[in-house]
Amino acid sequence: CILAKTFKGSGCPEVEDLMNWHGKPLGAKTDLALETITKKIANTGPHGLVAASPGPVRSVDISNVQLSEPPSYNLGQKVATRAAYGSAIVKLAKNNKYVIALDGDTKNSTFSEKIKTVSPERYVECYIAEQNLVGVAIGCAARDRTVAFVSTFAAFFSRAYDQIRMGAVSQ
């Protein structure tokens, strides 16, 4: 365990650990703050760090995402929407190996864990960290690599609004 005491604006003269500066522009104090921070930089580079290019990737076909078989419910049969959702994910996964399911620790409520009957490695449990859940799904689906189904309760899903918004912007 690491326990740390932090100060807002640490190292910036005239604002460090003072009230009413969090999230506000420094205005006239900007130059002094930048000068102070710049003096503390031990290695100004060049660092020799270059991000590796992801390079070419094998193309995958996610265009054929469809049910392996039609729904098999009888007229008038009462089926919980969540059970139908779980069954649909299974049928989609049977038909396309790039369908994955991610869950926010609601697997036995959303039935998303049913995908494990087809392919356990295509199920990702993200527990009760919905922001992470959505971020992982965005990463998995980036560059059309998978078709990701994200499952959690709506009340918790709202926590991930910024990840969804930024995922759309990042396209």
- Using an 8 Å Cβ cutoff, are 84 and 71 in contact? yes
DSSP string, 73-103: PPTT----HHHHHHHHHHHHHHH-TTEEEEE
Crossing angle for the helix pair 161-169 and 130-141, nearest 10 degrees? 20
Give the tokens for residue 52.
């590796």
Element spanning 124, H or E:
strand 123-125
Catalytic annotation present for 125: no
Element spanning 150, H or E:
strand 147-151
At 23, give phi and psi (nearest 5°): 75, 15
Residue 83: CB atoms within 10 Å: 12
Residue among 35, 69, 125, 130 flagged as catalytic: 130
Q: Catalytic positions, please?
A: 130
